[in-house]
Amino acid sequence: MARSSVARLADAAPVFAALGDPARLRIVSRLCEGGPLSIVRLTEGSRISRQAITKHLNALSDAGLVRSERCGRERVWQLQPKRLAEARRHLDRISAQWDQALDRLRLFVEEDAR
């Protein structure tokens, strides 16, 4: 693997770590569906406290997945689609590598069966 590929994967690790938590994944999903939302709106219909939502949002922010802006007295959080797109590119690359490996295995098995 080229050095730049390794560096890109290392850069993506915090994104996958942040998305590995089910609560954070739900928050990202809510922001994808509803656009920018305040903590109050993010806690609606959830059993998670505002403090816990804030903790999760900070972890997502540290990974570069969300950012916040002050809007009056509230802080509104929004998704950073560029970071998600980078993660998707990594997954697409890994998926392509697996597809190639499976194709090689299929060819090997077919050749051996003849």
Query: What predicted TM-score, i.e. pTM, was given to this entire model?
Result: 0.77
Q: What's the domain range around 17?
A: 3-113
Q: Which residue has the tokens 């969300």?
A: 66
Distance CA 22, CA 43 (A): 15
pLDDT in tens, 51-87: 999 999 999 999 999 999 998 899 999 999 998 888 8
Distance CA 46, CA 40 (A): 10
3 confidence band (pLDDT: 50, 70, 90): low
Residue 15 belongs to domain with CATH number: 1.10.10.10
25 confidence band (pLDDT: 50, 70, 90): very high
Query: To 10 degrees, the CA torsion angle through 100, 103, 107, 113?
Result: 140
> What is the number of structural domains in the chain?
1
> Is pLDDT of 1 > 60?
no
Distance CA 18, CA 5 (A): 21
Query: Would you state the pLDDT for residue 2?
Result: 59
